[in-house]
Structure 1
């Protein structure tokens, strides 16, 4: 998006503000479908957790995507779009059998990632097809907190426990209709990804009624100018050839699934924050913005890099700033970053703010959640109002506390 348009949106809707460009979302979606166009049955399930505004979910539904969910609440949000429940897959971690049963009643595809729940569910509901999440024991991802396929991960059923899965299936007569994995996020090396897919093929061969294989996602996107990213086109060439060979060997055209989130929405998002104060210390120039890790926690939680530009003064002389927030703890977005000269009231743009940004925001320090705007064909739509104090108080109950008498000691 042009900086002038972003500035207009900041003026119109105030700051801080999240803005999403749907042209970029559609472009990324089309890029993935094109990369795997040689596969007969391809299904892309957007990972709702990345950005869960219902308008974004509806946009993906209209593109033809399914939805990947991790909680019953995400399933319920997805259903508000009118999507067919069969186009939703539910992949929780560590939830109760009761929640899984409640989701199963809604008609979505269930994906189970531990043996005990698999056996319990199979005993009670053998008629409901189930996908199983496999842990391939591969370390992959750009940060240890988002690497979920290694041997010590809490996610998935170990590849060494496949005989246990088969025994559960034999005892319960349940139907395993899909095999799933997700090794992590920000995977750059496609050889690592392909190694994990070979493991998944070997697992899938051991089940007779597979309808799909879900390879997760975790594709890396560029975070700064000239940054490197996953070569989706090359991955498509190599993986679709292996997948088609597997289908021939399996004797059935099954569906190839992915569950991209960050790849589809990260670059489409912009976070706009106004500079409150420029503060010079003995060694550092701080640019304090009207936000904090309550709105954008990724830099503090994952050491994530967000490119920051001064859209109010793009031609200004470059200087070095530490961009920080207004929270009562250290909330540093960028340290000693080269940015065009910043003054109070300037608007800074944080790029790659579409994935795991608003969806991880909170009301810490009782600060309001920001507004969200979606841009479709050049027209802006407010898709979430900025919070008010009434929103924060909405579910709080003011109780009448009994008065307590206190004893006061009077000194002699």
Structure 2
């Protein structure tokens, strides 16, 4: 009885919290799971599982909320450059382009996808520590002026960009990515803002590079950028990073066009994250207040602000839909084996990340079970000792919050096909 009560309390809070904190396309009605107002079992009736399911309505909500919050907080000419690494689906990009989004890319493959979606090259920033000569050349020759900015992460990269730009008779627009030496409270594998990480340049190295005239014959410094990590739920490290980029901007004799504050704003995967999550509105107010305190109040210059959101735009819009293959009992251990695997959603195996697993039909019969996939790895597990109805072969389950870092990190490990993506 306690398990049953707990399950329905979980369902109640799932429905209410999703509405009150971060809107989700999922909702239970009469114990049936709905996605964007349509019963999940009806959506999945003629589709091969596993598959990714996306909501255009939810995608539009988060992009519009993010961009409008920037304007509401009086940030100058804000430019949203969506981070393709989170989800590079062509229909996602087409929707974002229609709403005015730019792109943050980290490879020539992502750059080509952004361009194919019609995103203006002058709204594209190119990040990443390992840009090759081929990638730099391609980005330089996009459109009449090339891309909006190369976010430079080493002096050697700056030198290479300048050499290629000289050969191509172009002027490359560059921004230094500052490593602000802050520790973000997130998983160690997605923290990127400390000097022990491979990303960005230290302040002293940037100042030294600015004084080396040989790097600037065919490059021009147009901005500074920071990005301290992903799945950020509190803002102390963000404020400190803004303080550091502001100090650098004020110390150099360059009229910058923009300050790129990166992305990384988190979503609520767990109940704990629901309780401490920083909302989009709070995030934007925090950013605006920090910029005013550390930069705008100290200068008459007013560069625009660039953002690189990914997960906060697409994370909640998508789920991974799977069917139960069979159940298995091993002494006191109960396994629910599903047809989705870690090759479809690697976050639980890679980061020990939590994803809610929801049945298509709620039931009074509850058990504690491990939800595992078909991959020949013990880490192919989506959740241990989860409270679920007793499921049978063919029953549908949904792995929530799979819109970000699901399909983009998918693989064909064990020679499995990449799951299909569908929009409602």
Calculate the TM-score normalised by the size of structure 2: 0.84
Q: For the Cα contact (< 8 Å) 1:269–1:352, is it kept in 2?
A: yes
Q: Structure 2: which 5+ runs fail to align?
A: 1-24, 28-32
**Residues in 1 aligned to 2:213 and 2:165: alpha-carbon distance in whole angstroms:** 12
Name the residue aligned to 2:56: 22
Q: 2:363 aligns with which of 315, 335, 342?
A: 315
Name the residue aligned to 1:83: 119
Post-superposition Cα deviations, 1:87-133, rounded to whole Å, max 9, x if no partner, equal 11111222323321222111212221111111232355372221111
Equivalent residues in 2 for 1:187-226 (5 A)?
Answer: 187-205=232-250, 206-225=252-271
Name the residue aligned to 1:99: 135
Count of residue pairs brought into register by the alignment: 374
Secondary structure of the residue that 1:218 maps to in structure 2?
coil
Secondary structure of the residue that 1:129 maps to in structure 2?
strand
Q: For the Cα contact (< 8 Å) 2:239–2:290, is it kept in 1?
A: no
**Residues in 2 aligned to 1:87 and 1:204: alpha-carbon distance in whole angstroms:** 22
Name the residue aligned to 2:320: 271
Q: 2:231 aligns with which of 186, 191, 203?
A: 186
Name the residue aligned to 1:410: none
Q: For the Cα contact (< 8 Å) 2:173–2:220, is it kept in 1?
A: yes
Name the residue aligned to 2:158: 118
**Residues in 1 aligned to 2:311 and 2:207: alpha-carbon distance in whole angstroms:** 34
**Residues in 2 aligned to 1:260 and 1:124: alpha-carbon distance in whole angstroms:** 29
Q: For the Cα contact (< 8 Å) 2:183–2:194, is it kept in 1?
A: yes
**Residues in 1 aligned to 2:338 and 2:209: alpha-carbon distance in whole angstroms:** 52
Matched, 1:73 2:109: yes
**Residues in 1 aligned to 2:64 and 2:88: alpha-carbon distance in whole angstroms:** 20
Post-superposition Cα deviations, 1:119-153, rounded to whole Å, max 9, x if no partner, equal 23235537222111111111214211101111111
Post-superposition Cα deviations, 1:193-221, rounded to whole Å, max 9, x if no partner, equal 11111101111221413111111111111
Matched, 1:364 2:403: no
Name the residue aligned to 1:64: 100
Q: For the Cα contact (< 8 Å) 1:162–1:203, is it kept in 2?
A: no
Secondary structure of the residue that 1:288 maps to in structure 2?
strand
Q: For the Cα contact (< 8 Å) 1:261–1:355, is it kept in 2?
A: yes
Secondary structure of the residue that 1:32 maps to in structure 2?
helix
Name the residue aligned to 2:41: 7
Higher mean C-alpha displacement, 300-309 vs 8-17: 8-17
Name the residue aligned to 1:108: 147
Report the RMSD for the aligned CA atoms in angstroms. Answer: 1.8
Name the residue aligned to 2:5: none
- Report the Cα offset of residue 33 of structure 1: 2.3
Q: For the Cα contact (< 8 Å) 2:137–2:164, is it kept in 1?
A: no
Name the residue aligned to 1:159: 203
Secondary structure of the residue that 2:45 maps to in structure 1?
helix
Distance 1:235 1:303, change over 3 A: same
Q: 1:260 aligns with which of 285, 305, 309?
A: 309
Q: Structure 1: which 5+ runs fail to align?
A: 376-412
Name the residue aligned to 2:374: 326
Secondary structure of the residue that 1:125 maps to in structure 2?
helix
Q: 1:340 aligns with which of 378, 389, 402?
A: 389
**Residues in 1 aligned to 2:291 and 2:399: alpha-carbon distance in whole angstroms:** 38
Q: For the Cα contact (< 8 Å) 1:274–1:345, is it kept in 2?
A: yes
Secondary structure of the residue that 1:264 maps to in structure 2?
helix
Distance 1:171 1:367, change over 3 A: closer
**Residues in 2 aligned to 1:6 and 1:368: alpha-carbon distance in whole angstroms:** 22
Distance 1:170 1:252, change over 3 A: farther
Secondary structure of the residue that 1:208 maps to in structure 2?
coil
Name the residue aligned to 2:14: none
Post-superposition Cα deviations, 1:330-358, rounded to whole Å, max 9, x if no partner, equal 21111111122222211110000000011
**Residues in 1 aligned to 2:372 and 2:215: alpha-carbon distance in whole angstroms:** 57
Higher mean C-alpha displacement, 362-371 vs 251-260: 251-260
Distance 1:279 1:124, change over 3 A: closer
Higher mean C-alpha displacement, 220-229 vs 204-213: 220-229
Name the residue aligned to 2:279: 231
